[in-house]
């Protein structure tokens, strides 16, 4: 069944990065963007590829990973709808340092570098919004580095569940839907799949979480946060 066409201008105008731009500015960016249909398992970029712009996920999910010489991979970040990747290497005019692979059937926009540069020339405020977005990304990456370096495996898992921005909160109860397979999340947290599963089981046994497939319920957020220190 063919998918419903995407109104690129409407999509862009609702993103924080482009929300304050005029209709003409949105139209110029849309004209410099290309839709990419990417079934699950599509490698969008390899480490070392040249960067000619940045990608925005319309729907689906993308895994950014560092590939090990032996064939393994370390998941750096999971990119979901409305999120983007590629801006840092685009501005540095450097090749990609990570690979990007879809974890689900996805639709993305590729925004050309020249279009971004032209809008920055027209509107310095656009540059400030890009810097703000990159700063938020850096803050998350530093938080991840701190977790890997200074926190136990249990603290990393608890921190991940409490930080999930897509979670639904009802008072002190929280519902989280894991955005990827457990092995992918474990790699992101620098844990083995077995260690990650063992930690989840321990939290279940302690009554701190309930797990039903990808759905995790936290009955008492305060108690779980205290358990994580």
Give the 3-state secondary structure of residue 86.
coil
3-class SS letters over 148-190: HHHCCHHHHHHHHHHHCCCCEEECCEEEEECCCCHHHHHHHCC
pLDDT of residue 142: 85
pLDDT of residue 2: 57
Q: Which residues, at least 6 apart from 226, have a Cβ–Cβ distance to it below 8 Å? A: none
CA-to-CA distance for 29 and 118, rounded, in angstroms?
9
How many other CB atoms are found less than 10 A from the CB of residue 152? Answer: 12
Please list the pLDDT of the chain residue by residue as tens digits (229 residues). 456 678 999 999 999 888 888 899 899 999 999 999 999 999 999 999 999 999 999 999 999 999 877 767 889 999 999 999 999 999 999 999 999 999 999 999 999 999 999 999 988 888 888 888 888 888 888 887 787 777 899 999 999 999 876 778 888 899 999 989 999 999 989 899 999 999 999 999 999 999 999 999 999 999 999 997 6
Q: Would you say the pTM of this structure is higher than 0.95?
A: no
Domains of the chain: 8-149 (2.60.120.10), 152-227 (1.10.10.10)
Comparing CA positions, the residue from 29, 164, 76, 128 lying closest to residue 85 is 76
pLDDT of residue 3: 64
pLDDT of residue 161: 93
CA-to-CA distance for 205 and 12, rounded, in angstroms?
45
How many other CB atoms are found less than 10 A from the CB of residue 109? Answer: 23
């Amino acid at each position: 069944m063919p998918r419903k066409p995407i109104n690129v201008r409407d999509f862009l105008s609702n993103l924080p990065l482009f929300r304050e731009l005029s209709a003409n500015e949105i139209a110029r960016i849309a004209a410099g963007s290309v839709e990419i249909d990417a079934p699950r398992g599509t490698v969008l970029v390899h480490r070392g590829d040249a960067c000619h712009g940045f990608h925005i996920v319309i729907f689906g999910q993308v895994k950014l990973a560092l590939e090990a010489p032996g064939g393994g991979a370390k998941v750096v970040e999971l990119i979901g709808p409305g999120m983007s990747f590629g801006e840092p290497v685009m501005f540095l005019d450097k090749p990609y340092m990570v690979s990007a692979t879809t974890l689900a059937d996805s639709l993305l926009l590729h925004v050309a570098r020249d279009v971004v540069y032209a809008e920055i020339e027209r509107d310095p405020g656009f540059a400030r919004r890009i810097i703000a977005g990159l700063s938020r990304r850096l803050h998350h990456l530093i938080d991840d580095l701190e977790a890997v370096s200074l926190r136990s495996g249990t603290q990393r898992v608890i921190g991940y569940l409490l930080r999930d921005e897509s979670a639904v909160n009802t008072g002190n109860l929280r519902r989280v839907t894991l955005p990827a397979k457990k092995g992918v999340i474990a790699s992101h947290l620098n844990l083995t799949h077995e260690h990650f599963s063992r930690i989840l089981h321990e939290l279940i046994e302690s009554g701190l979480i309930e797990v039903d497939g990808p759905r995790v319920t936290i009955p008492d957020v305060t108690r779980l946060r205290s358990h994580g220190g």
